[in-house]
Amino acid sequence: MQETTPLDADLPFDASEDERPAGQWLEGYWTQMAYWAKRITWSLWAYLAIFVYSNLWLIEFMDDNMMAIIINLAFSLFLWALPLGLLSYFTYTFSHLLEAAPQTGETHRVEKAWKRLRQMLWTGMVIVVMLLVSTGATMYYTYRISQTQNMNMEEVIPLQSEGEEGETMEYDEEQGE
Amino acid sequence: MTQEEKPENTPSGGLALTDYLLERMTRAARIGAPVMLLSLLLAILNGFMLLYEFSVWFSALESDYYLMEGANLYEAFDALISVALLYLFIRGVVDGRQAFQYLRDSATDDEALLEGNARLAAMLRWFALFGIVFIGTLLLQKLWHYLMS
């Protein structure tokens, strides 16, 4: 086999006999991935803890409006915390498998890690779509509110006391009738 | 360490590049590319929202502005952090998009395989930094509200 790429350089490798070794560079990148994926997992866990605590705090007001709070909790915990929890689980297993693979030399761990990455990306897509819907709704309502404010500023309706004397008199006469 | 600084790519941990692994990478790249596109759209929309918030903030500014007065310090800090978070997120998305473009050809192109893995590591680094800054800001905001209440 010709040495055409850095991956093939100086490797004692025969394609007809065995599989290619991944080499130092790829293993280095996988170690970096494991390191940073673990930090992402910690961030996700911290966010989930803050989020769940903030929502469970609503239970204090359960007596006032029980149904509203149960619906709020169900929506926030299942629609938002569940995908985030899944993402944190996949990220954790991805980092754990990639971290262990170079130490044990088991290629099947790397293969499993890449399977986890794919699951991470699917979950990430669900979260990104939800965030897009949320951002779109926020933009729409912000636009609506700003339009209403602009309309109110353009059409300045004078107070009754600020109107002309005649108009006020006429109003008073009508009221009197 | 960059590729140029390394003298050679020698085998170390005994890990192999199996066909199954390369197929996994290609399959991950297929779903990764649209996720990064949607994330880029999300970043752009949030960038517009941030610009709108800045315009409202600047229009409300008075001529004699003091940073330590009222909630001005909090607002300035919030604006800076929002810009920093957007920057970190966009860097992650850009690296991720390039990574998945390279990884799509990783089964047949060794350069693409190496470059894709390098970019993927970079993407995870930017997203981790984003997460750390985001959580730090969230905790600082909670502390601020606790102290001010």
The one-letter code for the residue type at A33 is M
- From chain A, the residues in CB contact with B31 under 8 A are 118, 121-122, 125
A102 — contact with chain B (CB < 8 Å)? yes
Nearest CB neighbour to A128, from listed B39, B118, B121: B39
Tens digits of per-residue pLDDT, A118-130?
Answer: 999 999 999 999 9
Residue B124: which of A11, A33, A106 has the nearest Cβ?
Answer: A33
Chain B partners within 8 Å of A124 (Cβ): 35, 39
What percentage of chain B exceeds 70 in pLDDT? 91
pLDDT band at residue A5, thresholds of 50, 70 and 90? low
Tell me the pLDDT band of B11, cut-offs 50, 70 and 90: low
Minimal C-alpha gap between A76 and chain B (Å)? 18
For the segment A47-72, the average pLDDT, to the nearest whole number, is 80
For the segment A116-141, the average pLDDT, to the nearest whole number, is: 95
| Angstrom distances, CA of residue A121 to CA of A1, A101, A138, B1, B34 | 36, 21, 25, 27, 10
Average pLDDT over residues B26-48: 96
pLDDT at A1: 43
* Cβ neighbours of A116 in B, within 8 Å: none
Nearest chain A CA: its distance from B22 CA (Å): 9
How many CB pairs below 8 Å do chains A and B form together?
165
Q: Which of A8, A111, A128 sits opposite B38 (nearest CB)?
A: A128
Please give the torsion angle defined by the CA atoms of residues B111, B117, B119 and B123, in that order, rounded to the nearest 10 degrees.
170
Residues of B in contact with A18 (CB under 8 A): 16
For the ranges A56-70, B92-106, B131-145, the lowest mean pLDDT is seen at A56-70
Reported confidence tier of residue B14, pLDDT bands at 50, 70, 90: confident
| Residue B80 neighbours by CB under 8 Å, 6+ apart | none
Q: What is the pTM of this model?
A: 0.81
Write the single-letter amino acid at B90: I
Predicted local distance difference test score (pLDDT) of residue A158: 65
Residue with the larger pLDDT of the pair A74 and B109: B109
Structure ipTM:
0.87
Residues B104 and B125: their CA atoms lie apart, in Å, by: 21
How far apart are the C-alpha atoms of B17 and B25, rounded to whole Å?
11
Give pLDDT tens digits for B78-130: 889 999 999 999 999 999 999 999 999 998 888 999 999 999 999 999 999 99
pLDDT in tens, A92-103: 999 999 999 988
Query: Looking at the predicted structure, is the pLDDT value of residue B42 above 90?
Result: yes
